[in-house]
Each structure stands twice: as structure tokens, then as C-alpha cells.
Structure 1
């Protein structure tokens, strides 16, 4: 049985500074230890997550312009490697793949059916550039998928083997609201190594600290120097500045209570008139975890396979019972997604299911903004409480 990864945090080791050569050495050391390094790189007019052979493949000098239903790469005036916010993919794509075969079955010449369970060896990944919001998202998925009642051992095996290198945010995007969800821009617990990028007159460098013994061991093998007070101050100031420049906010109300009390709000009709129920928000979300199974056969009927794949609460079949779908209207499906994400997730898993990354806003084809919807529901609730 796979076990949940142990909680991680600061080991108390002295922080250090890596230059650009040290960052590339980090990639090479991890590769020499048999890990596949995955990080951000520019491809197809977007910053995507892909295997890296060198730190030179990072998106130096690139930023992003984000808004509802809008994503665009923009050139920066500096050579920052991590001055961009969360892209279209999340680490969920590697820890909880979109489609996985569970078993296959073949009918032999004697007519006997032989079933073979798929047992894939989990890859040894090193994730470079994990944003604090995504670090929180991984922790949320750990609670969901490694809980006692409905444990996903395949996820557990992938998660236990993953080495996480967090990068604190110094440049929030136009749709970011991690501060409202207490998920950034500083890195919380869960990392093996945390980096903060610094660019000033003293040069281009990264303040690094270890969060686990393995992280400390990796840092010990890199060309580095002791951290100086100026680098620490600049790094801390950059993160504090990012916290003050979030592109979006959530209302200060208790969201769990707000959503529970807003099931009959008229605002749902407004969003239903715009929502295409395409499910893009759930596919881009780093915490949405719903899956379904599908069975397929070949034309002879002698070979069959069962696959697990991502599913979405926007799919009509998602809530289909013998009498038809439970949530037939677009209104009810959007309401289910938002109330679960911000409200009833607390009842199931002890926290919100949202980390403030803003992906659902960016990748909604009609630009629906869940922060705008939350504020609208809050205003409607306040209006009802006012005396006539």
C-alpha cells in the first residue's frame, strides 16, 4: 500500500543563494539521480509544463497577460525565469493523469477469459517551479485522494515519488487571488526546496531553502554561497509586494456560509445565461479530482479494457441515474461546482477546494469569473438582510 507523503516544511537549515549556473546544476543533479525534471517552458505561444533537460529551457524574459477568457505571452524587460503566473496546466496532469488504463482482458482460444491488472511503475519526477497556490493544491489533492475512506493508491505512489521545488511568486497575474485563499504568494509547507527569484543591481540569483532532508542533501551538492541579508530583504520584499498586487479578490465573508445560504439566489440565473457548461474550468482546476470509468472492446469482442479518465460535474451524464440526470440545467451544474469548490468542500475535506490560481477564469471561453460571482452573491445576500 502506498503511504501518504510526510508533512514537510522548513528544516531549519541555513538558506543559500544560487546563481544561474547553480539553477542549471540543480536540474542536472536531479536528472543524475534518475528523476525526470518537469518545469515551465515556452511552447505553442504559452508557458507550459514539459520535461526539461536544462535550466536554459525555462521561460527567461517571458511574462503573461491574463484576464477572463484571455491569455497572452508578453516579453519582459528583464530576464526573469519565473515572472509568470500559473499556466494552462497544473501538476495534476502528472500526479492524476487524464486517462489511465486499469485492466485489460483477453479471451483465449479455449474461451477462457484472462484479466490482467495494469500496474504502472510511477515515474520519479522532480517538479521545478511549483507555485505556492499549486503547492496548496497538491496538499488538497493529498487529503482527497489519500484519505482513509476512498484511497487512490496509484496517486499515492506517484505523489510519494515526487520531488517538489517551489518558486515563490513575485509577479502575480491579473486573475490571481491566492491571498484571499491563504495560498500564497509565499510558499507554505510541502516543498523539498523553495526558491525566490531576485533580480537587481547585484545580479540574477535565487534565494534557496530546504524543506526536507532530501532537499537539503540536493542543495548541499550544488554550487552556492551563503545567503546575505540584502538578498533576503529583497526576496521578502518582492513576495510582500506581490501579495499587495493581486489581480482579483474574494469577498471577506465566510464563503462556506455564503454559498450555503445562496442556493436560491437570482444571480445563478445570470451566470447560467452565459455558461456553456463546457467543463473547461474543471479541467484547468488543480484540485478538481472527479473521474469516471469507461469500458472499451475491440471489434472481435475478444479484448476489453477499462480506463479511468477525468470527468466533470458539468457533464450531463455525471449525475445521471436511472431516471435521468439529477442536475439537468446549466444553472444547477454551475451552482454545484461553485458551492462545492468554495463551500461543501469544507464538510468533506476540511478546507476550501480553491487555491486562488485563477485558471478557471482565464480558460473559461466566455470569461466567467468565480470571484465576480462570489462578490455578486455576497451583495445579493447583504441586500436581502437590509430592512426595506
Structure 2
């Protein structure tokens, strides 16, 4: 963590003041809320909208909310949604065409005007945003909608105080401490019965916001307490995965028997790709009215687990469950590196939690390597 003179302390009331100050600057404020028995990201107006005193219990194919024995506002891991939902929309109209007589006019979709303030962004999610920045902004072809939303975004990150049952961000070097990319970063302290937050600034916008709210410098003891929170989280990951040899391991084992075994369990339901914070595959479809006078082109999230995704004239390139699961896992952990220079996995564990049959990415890697869990942990 930064030196004591670079870290401030705010109270819960100060956090409320921060939300008001952000809104006063014209941002749409989105953060964690409790809906449908899960932690979901939605518009918030005050700290009372946050999941105070709740946590999540996660394992393969299992997610439950449970009461904590304190009033933590960010005392959970991650829910089924990621910030991808707001920056790379599940459904986006690209253009509209209208016919009047013999004339046809095509109108591109207007750029979004939202200024999004994301509250409670975890380290793994911050890393996922950085990965999607590389996908959508880092090449010759730039996604204009993503570019506009990203340029206007404000990020209030939170260092994790609790690891989930399927978390393995430490293995992926993606957490639990937020290292960069944020405007403000919080660490929730609950020791001694006094609830407060360490707050660090990462941008001029973040510094300007901090100056608008009541705060005081953090003491050395509070800095150490914040470090202890993150260290405790890092040492209690629900999963682990060795990563130093993943590229060679997966690309040299494309016919490993484990692909056949996992195919007997995989439902190709696409859950893992939909909850993943970095998956970016889309399809495009055109719709028109019955009179043929108006047509629209829409972009929608898609998944490499569907038969249609790899369809070309004559059939699907990946017709079997085995080939589709292998495509997803080898791309995420290996060939993504060839394509974008980094792994596509941030260790958030969502693909494990939200798989209906509990397929575990880390377990599949161990099986292909031929190690048991104990042997891998000792390496």
C-alpha cells in the first residue's frame, strides 16, 4: 500500500458523501445491490443500497447469500455479473435503415452519453477491464461504443477483504489488491468495532473527489491493518492453479483424454462464457418490420459453446461438445496469450460457480497435467 501520507480515511458517512459528490459531477452511479438472492450491479443512490452485512458462499455449481456477523458493505466476493455488462453491452443496435419510396437512409447508432461511475470494482474485475481494453482499443480496429464509455468511466475500486470459494486471482496475478487503473480505491476496515475505509487516489478526478468529502490522513497502524486485510484474503483463496506452463501444456495436449471426459459433463449451456468478465464474442443479426420499410442491425453477446458460432457453409467447425469446451479453455488460458499478449483469465471463479454441473477450470488443468491437487500445490 502507499505511504501513510498518501492514504486517507473516511467513515461510512464519508462514503455517502462520496456517492453524492460523484453524482453531482454528472455520473450514473452503479454498484453492488442485493436482488434475486444474488449480488448484482445496478444503480445506487446511497450506502443503504449496498449489501450491508451480507456475504456469498460459492463452490462449483453453488452460490448462496448468507448473513455476516458484522455490517460490512463489501463483505462478499463477486456475483454473476461483471462490469462487462456496462462497457460491452449484451445487446447493442449498430444502425437503422429506413426506406421512403426509392430512397434508403442508413443512420448509425449514436454514441452513448452515459458517464458511468462503477463502485466496488474488485482487483480481478479491474484486470478484466484492462484485458478488454486490449481487445477493444488495442488494435487497428477500435470499438467506438466501448471507447466512448471507457473514456468517460470513473472507477471506485475495493481491495478484497474476503476470498470466495472459487476465487484464484492470486494464481492469475490479478488480485486481491487493486494495483492500477482506478480513480479511487477503498479498503474496508472493521477492526475494533469502528467501520471505516482507507482510501487511495489514482487519478486527478479521484483526488478532486476526495477533496470534496470529509477525510483525514491514515495512521501507520491503519495502513498495516489494511495490508493485513489483503494479505489474509490472498492466503485464503478457494482455488489454486499453476500457470507458468499453461500455454505449452494445453497446446501440446489437444487430444488428451480429459477433453472426452469433461465433454460427458458439459451441457454447452454457455453459462461460463456469459459470466466471464473477459469473453467478448458476439454475433450480428438483422431485423425488419413487416412492411419492409425499416431495418435494424443488432450486435448480441454470443458464445463459442453454441453450434451456430462456428457455422460456415456445410456445417459447424466445432460440432462436438469436446471441441467446443477445448476451444474455450485453450483460448482463455493459452492462445489468448498469442492473440493479446496475456491470459484471458483473471481468476474470479465465476465459470466454476455458475456452471450447473460444477466443472472446475483449475481441476481440468490439473487433470491434463497429470497431477493431483497436493502435488500441484507443492510446486
TM-score for the superposition, normalised by structure 2: 0.96
Match of residue 333, structure 2, among 332, 339, 342 = 342
Q: Quick check: 2:311–2:317 contact (8 Å CA) kept in 1? A: yes
CA contact (8 A) 2:118 2:153 kept: yes
Question: Of 229, 237, 241, which residue of structure 2 is paired with 1:238?
Answer: 229
Contact 2:4 2:219 in 1 (8 A): no
Distance verdict in 2 for CA 1:344–1:225, change over 3 Å:
same
1:216 is aligned to 2:197: no
Counterpart of 2:251 (choices 232, 255, 260) is 260
Local SS of the residue matching 1:114: strand
2:285 maps to which of 283, 294, 300: 294
How far has the Cα of 1:197 moved from its partner?
Answer: 0.4
Q: 1:174 and 2:196 equivalent?
A: no
Residue 33 of structure 1 pairs with residue 25 of structure 2: yes
Structure 1 partner of 2:48? 56
Please say if 1:74 is aligned against 2:73. no
The answer to whether the 8 Å contact 2:112/2:145 transfers is: no
1:27-176 counterparts in 2 under 5 A? 27-108=19-100, 110-176=101-167
- 1:366 is aligned, of 338, 351, 357, to 357
Who is 2:376 aligned against?
A: none
Q: 1:15 aligns with which of 7, 12, 37?
A: 7
Q: Quote the residue 1:354 is aligned against.
A: 345
Deviations 1:88-115 (A, max 9, x none): 100000000000001111111x231121
Asked whether the 8 Å contact 2:134–2:340 carries over to 1, the reply is: yes
In 1: Cα distance, 2:229 partner to 2:153 partner: 28
- Do 1:10 and 1:212's aligned partners in 2 also have CA atoms closer than 8 Å? no
State the Cα distance separating 1:150 from its structure 2 match.
2.6
Specify which of 345, 361, 369 is matched with residue 378 of structure 1. 369
In the alignment, is the contact (CA less than 8 A) between 1:13 and 1:209 conserved in 2?
A: no
Q: Does 1:194 align with 2:185?
A: yes
Question: In the alignment, is the contact (CA less than 8 A) between 2:74 and 2:120 conserved in 1?
Answer: yes
Give the distance between the partners of 2:148 and 2:3, measured in 1 at CA: 24
Q: Quick check: 2:9–2:196 contact (8 Å CA) kept in 1?
A: yes
Q: Once the two structures are superposed, what CA deviation does each residue of 1:34-67 show, in whole Å capped at 9, x if it has no partner?
A: 1011000111111110100111211010000101
User: 1:253 deviation in Å?
Assistant: 4.3
1:327 to 299, 318, 326: 318
Q: Which runs of 5+ in 1 are unaligned?
A: 1-8, 382-388
Alpha-carbon offset, residue 317 of structure 1: 1.0
| 3-state SS of 1:274 partner | coil
**Could you say which residue in structure 2 is the equivalent of 1:184?**
175
CA distance in 2, matches of 1:283, 1:67: 18
| Contact 1:106/1:115, CA 8 A, preserved across alignment | yes
CA distance in 2, matches of 1:316, 1:102: 24
- 2:173 match: secondary structure: coil
Counterpart CA distance in 1 for 2:244 and 2:151 is 36
Q: How far 1:15 sits from its partner (Å)? A: 1.0
Q: Is the 8 A contact 1:11 1:212 kept in 2?
A: no
After TM superposition, where is structure 1 displaced by more than 4 Å over at least 4 residues in a row? 9-13
CA deviation after TM superposition for structure 1 residue 229, in Å: 1.3
Would you say 1:227 and 2:225 are equivalent positions?
A: no
Of 206, 209, 212, which aligns to 2:197? Answer: 206
Q: CA RMSD in A?
A: 1.6
